[in-house]
Chains A and B, each alone.
Chain A
């Protein structure tokens, strides 16, 4: 590191950076919750794609309301309920994940509540996407123009918080068919269907450029320390009680509409 950048980083809070490529989303979420609840340091977790297409719901997600359960079961798509709030996504190798796990005092002026954290994250990503695609935070989504390409969710404890984002670098349109239109949608969505509402980040910049720009932006606020994912400082405690769960086949089957409900639907 140059003398100037060393001088700049003095006095900045430390941010450990852990990078994965293609890590299973369940493992990523397990790690994030464990870091939230058992670490006292700040972490940035970057996962460049995930290996298996997986549906990820928020903590209160109900499969019957959010998913086309019959298709999900038929095609054996894994379904995860994560420890943070927010909506449902289907993630795969085209999804880029960036997560910040911070002490509440790590970012000056940011109270540990949803809106201040979201606002802080948008200022960081404003730097990342400077000059690219008319980026901004729209309600709780990252958009280029009025098309969403990044979704956010958070989990907040007494002294720490997680803010994680899934970026649609690319996606398979047919995978969106597993998801129902949610009951809660942002106002700016209007009545647009999925293809009209979202866009692909790959139309704006490469994966490498995005990750490099993100790391650079993080480096303006934190003293960055890269950590190997296998390092002992990265917790892998098998006894930790995770809130994130993979739904079982039985749980998904229980969410199927009943025979009488199906008949009623068919009548109309």
Chain B
């Protein structure tokens, strides 16, 4: 089992207690990046996550991303029935003064969209891996998942990215 080290900030302590109650098992967190990375998910270099369960893949943005963006005040999402392409933008989040594109880690057909985010965009901050999910997709090329990062690789990626700046 991976070593579990939790960041010391109060905000992260709150996120830890939420994650502990969930069905997802927290993997580990590097104290340097102060973000949670979960086991069982795959990650894109643009800081989105994918959870593949059977015929459907759920997509959202990572804890690292929401932490760097700040308070999310508005989420722009596509309609179900549309399609997404790997690496392409499917929506945006607005945090205070900025809109930021959200990109799909995989290609496929959008089968469901999280409509709760229109009334509660802050779910992306408080629960980025669970209640803050953004879209569900039927993958058209499941092999695309293999090129994404696992939790250890993504954690290292975050650490290197933060250290470089």
Chain A residues with CB under 8 Å of chain B are: 58-60, 83-87, 109-111, 113-118, 140, 152-158, 184
Contact = CB atoms under 8 A, between A and B. Distances in A.
B70 A115 contact: yes
Given A114-B69, A114-B70, A158 B96 contact: no
Interface residues of B, number: 23
The listed residue with most A CB atoms (<10 A of its CB), out of B70, B89, B97, B161, is B97
Interface of A: prevailing SS: loop
Contact of A157 (B89, B95, B97): B89
A184 to B, nearest CB: 8
Given A111-B161, A114-B95, A156 B100 contact: yes
Contacts of A83: 99
B165 A156 contact: no
Nearest to A115: B70
23 contacts: A58-B94, A58-B97, A59-B76, A59-B99, A60-B74, A60-B76, A84-B99, A85-B95, A85-B97, A86-B98, A113-B68, A114-B95, A114-B100, A115-B68, A117-B98, A152-B97, A153-B98, A154-B97, A154-B99, A155-B100, A156-B101, A157-B89, A158-B46
B110 interface: no
Given A59-B94, A85-B96, A158-B89, 20 more contacts: A60-B73, A83-B99, A85-B74, A86-B96, A109-B164, A110-B165, A113-B68, A113-B100, A115-B70, A140-B96, A140-B97, A152-B97, A153-B97, A154-B97, A154-B99, A155-B99, A157-B89, A158-B46, A158-B87, A184-B73
Nearest to B44: A158
A158 B89 CA distance: 8
Contact of B69 (A86, A110, A113, A118): A113
A43 B74 CA distance: 28
A222 B100 CA distance: 25
A154 B101 contact: no
Contacts of B89: 157-158
Given A59-B74, A157-B101, A111 B68 contact: yes
B70 A158 contact: no
A157 B74 CA distance: 16
B74 A86 contact: no
